[in-house]
Amino acid sequence: MKAVWTPDGVAFGFRMTSRRRPALAKHQGTGRLDGLVERQRELFLDVTGKNEGKFYQFIVNANCAVLDLKNSDATWNIEG
């Protein structure tokens, strides 16, 4: 994973490969992540910086599917 700070915010990049099942690493579209899949990455962002339990959580996989949560609320969807 790499992160870059820009005037517009922070951007994260993930490199995801699969030696055992390379077909799973191909980009096949975008959408919501609805189950456990191979080669997913998880990112937690503590918005207070004080470990107060408020956080954003993002899970992405090699197919560009995303699960985004705000304080464990899976119904929340980030814009963009």
Q: What are 32-77's pLDDT values in tens digits?
A: 655 555 567 788 889 888 988 889 998 887 667 788 889 988 888 8
What phi and psi, each to the nearest 5 degrees, are found at residue 50? -125, 10
Q: How far is CA 53 from CA 1, 12, 28, 78, 80, in A?
A: 24, 22, 34, 19, 24
Whole-number Å distance between alpha carbons of 12 and 4: 7
Domain-located, residue 38:
yes
Radius of gyration of the chain (CA): 14
pLDDT at 15: 74
Domain-located, residue 79:
no
Domains contained in the chain, number? 1
Q: What is the pTM of this model?
A: 0.63
Domain-located, residue 77:
no
User: Could you give the 3-state DSSP secondary structure of residue 25?
Assistant: helix
Per-residue pLDDT band at 12 (split at 50, 70, 90): confident
Domain-located, residue 76:
no
Which of residues 75 and 20 earns the better pLDDT score? 75
pLDDT at 8: 87
Domain-located, residue 75:
no
Question: What is the extent of the structural domain holding 32?
Answer: 2-18+26-70
